[in-house]
Structure 1
Amino acid sequence: MGPWPRRAGPRQPWQTSHALVAIPVVLIVVITIVDLLVPEDVHLGPLLVIAPALTASFASPRTTGAIGLMAVAAQAFIGWHFGVLFSRNVMVQILAIAVLSCLIVFFCVVRERRRRQLAQVRSVAEAAQHVLLWPLPEQIGPLRIACMYLAAEDEAQIGGDLYAATRTEGGVRLMIGDVRGKGLAAIGEAALLLGAFREAAHQHTALPALAGALEKSVGRYLDDFEPEEEAGERFVTALLMEIPDHDPVTRMTSCGHLAPLLLSPGRSVTVPSLHPAPPLGVGVGPAGYTLDVFTFEAGDTLLLFTDGIVEARNQKGEFYPFAERTAQWVGASPDALLQHIRRDLLAHTGGSLADDAALVAIRRTPPPRHPHGKIIHADGFRHRAGSDKRRD
C-alpha cells in the first residue's frame, strides 16, 4: 500500500499574522473616513492609536512600527484635509500618536526577545527530557511495545514517572516506576533510577537482587541530596519485570508499585496478584523482595501503569474506572490501546491531569512460522508446531 495522501496542514503562524494585519489597516481607513464625514467639532483621529496597539498582540515589531506610521500619516491627512495640519492641536495629536506607537514597538521588541529566550530554554529542556526518558522500541524480541507519557505540568514532557526496557540474554527486562512528587521537581530521582536500572539489569540474574541494587542506588542518592525537611519522605515505587523469549510466563518484583493489567483475547481483564515489598528508598534489603511468576502467552497484553491513571478524577471527584474501560479494547494493538485510553482518560478528567501518568503496553507475539509450518525461534533452532523437540 502506498503512502497516505497528504492533508492540507494548519496555517503557519506567519500566514495567520499576515491575514490579521488587515484588521488594523481597515481600522485606520474606517476611522479616517468617519473623521472626515462627521462635523468638524468631533475629532476621532486620536483613536488611530488603537491600530498599532492591536497589531502588537500578533505581529512583529517591524509590522507594528509600519502600522504606527500609517496611523501617524492618517492623522496628518485628516489635519491637511481640514487645513489645520500645522495647528497646535493637530501637531500635538500627531506627536502623541507617534510617541505611543514608539512605546508599543519598544514593548513588542522586549516581548519578542523574551519569547526567543523562552523558546531556547524549552528546546534545551525538551532535549534533556528526551535523553532522560528514551522512547521504548516498538519490538524487542517477541514483544511488541508501546508507551505513553502524560505530564501533569503543561511545560514538561516528563516528570516523576518513568519506564525503561533492556534486552538481556534470553529475554527482556522492563521497569515502570513513580517518584514521590510530580513534574520537573521529581526528575532527579527518575534520572538516577533509570541509569541504575540500565546498568544493573545486566549484572543481576534474579529480579529480587536487581531490586536490592536499585534500593542501594536510591538510598545513596537520598543520603546525598534529600532535603532535611523531607527526610524519610522521598521514595520511588517500581515494578520490575522479566519476560523470557520462549517460556510463556512473566516474572515480576513489585517495590510498592501497582500490579499491571493482563488482557487476554476473548477473556476479561485480570489483575495478577502480587506480593509487593516497600518502595525503593526505605532501606529494604534483597531478602525483602518477592518474585511472582504468572502466565503470559502469545496474544496476551500486559498493561503497566502508574497511579496517575487510576487516581485521575472527573469534576464529580470520581476515579477513572481503568480496568472497566480497558476491557472494551482487549483486542486492540498496543499503540491503538494506548490511544484509546489516552482519549478516554482526558475526556474523563476534562483534558488535564493532577498527576503524571505513564503507560506501557506489552504484547507477546507468536513466534514466526516457516512456510512449511515450522516455527522459527530467536535462538536459531526450528520447532514443529506443537512440538518441543529440537532438530539436530
Structure 2
Amino acid sequence: MRIAFFAPHKHIDHPLPSGDLIIGRTLHDFLQAQGHELLIASRARLRHITGKPLEWPGLFLELQRTLKRVRDFNPDIWLTYHSYYKSPDLLGPYISAKLGIPYAIYQGVFATKYRRNLRTWPGYMINKHALLHADHVFANKKLDFENLSRIILPQKLTRTHVGIKTEQFSYNSDGEAEIRRKHSLDGKQVILSAAMLREDVKAESITDLINAFAPLSKKYPQVVLLIAGDGEARSRLQDFAAQKAGNRIHFLGRIKREELHKYYSAADLFAYPGINEALGMVYLEAQCCGLPVVAYSTSGPEEAVAHGQTGLLSPEKNLPSLTANLEKLLIDSDLRAAMSKAAPVRIKKHFDLSDNLLKVECKLNEISHWRY
C-alpha cells in the first residue's frame, strides 16, 4: 500500500516533543515497518491557520506543490493524522478528490461548541468539511467517537485506541537502582510527574500538583516529588515549587523517552492532574511500568486510568481531593501493590500498540482498493 501521510497539527519529525507527536510518528513508523510505502505529503503546519491570513498565499502555493508531489508518488490512499478545529485538514480532501483516491482520517475530532464562537467557527467548518468527505475516520477516544457518530455513518467510523510499545515500558530493577542512586532517593517515597512545561494547561496542571503536594511535604518528610519535562514555564514553576515545598520538589528537565522507564521504575506512584488532557501517553507508560496514577477525572485520564483499580481520579480543580488521593496511595501500601499489579495487565490488554494499529492497517488496506 502506498500512503500519502499528512499531519496538519504538527509534522511527525517536528523537534518539539508531545503526546500527539508520539502518536502520529508511531502510526507512520508502524505502517512503514509493515512494508507499506509512505510519503510525507506536506510538512505545512496548519495550527490556527484560519487566524493567520498572511500565511494563506503561502498555503495556496504549498497546496499546488503538494498536489504535484502526491501525484508523482501515485498513492493508493491519503491518510491524515489528527484533524480538528485548531488544525483542520485543508489539503487532504481537495487532493484526494483531485486524484480520485480514498481519504482517511486517524484521530478525527469533532465538537459542536466551536461553531458558537466567531474565532473558532472557521476552523470548525473546515474540519467538519474534512470529516464529512473522509471515506473513513478513526476515533481514538470514547468522547470523540460519540461526537463523530452524530455526523459520520457507522460504516465509515471505527473506534480504536492509541497505544504504547508495552515491551518498552516495564518495571526495571536496575533502572530503579540507577535513578535512586543518581538522585539520592534511598529511603524516600517518590511521586513522579512528567509533562511539557508550557505556559498553558500543562503548567496549570503542574501548578495544581504542586499545591496538592505542598501539605504532604510538611506531613511526610520522606516523600519527594520529581517532575520530568522542560519548557518556558519551568523557571517560574521551580520558583513556585520552592515557595510551596522547599527542596522537596525536584525538576529533572527533559528526559529521553527511552530513559523514562527507569524513572517510572524508581517511583512509587505517578501524578499529573491532566487539565484538558486528550489522553496522555505518560498515563499509559507509567501504568505499564506498574505505577498507580493520581489525576483529575477529565476525559483523557478517565479513559487511560481505571478509577479504583489502577489509580485514583478526582473532580477537576478539586485540590483537597487531589491531595487526599496522593496521601491515600502514599500510606496504603496494600492498595498501591494491588494497583501496581493491575495496571500493566490493563494496559497490555487495551493499549498494546501493535494490536491496535493492526486493526487500523486492516481497515486502510480495505479502503485503499476503492477508486473514484
TM band (smaller chain): under 0.3
- Larger RCO, structures 1/2 (Cα 8 Å, 6+ apart): 2
What is the TM-score when the length of structure 2 is the normalising length?
Answer: 0.24
Q: Which has the larger radius of gyration?
A: 1
Higher fraction of helix: 2
Question: Structure 1-normalised TM-score?
Answer: 0.23
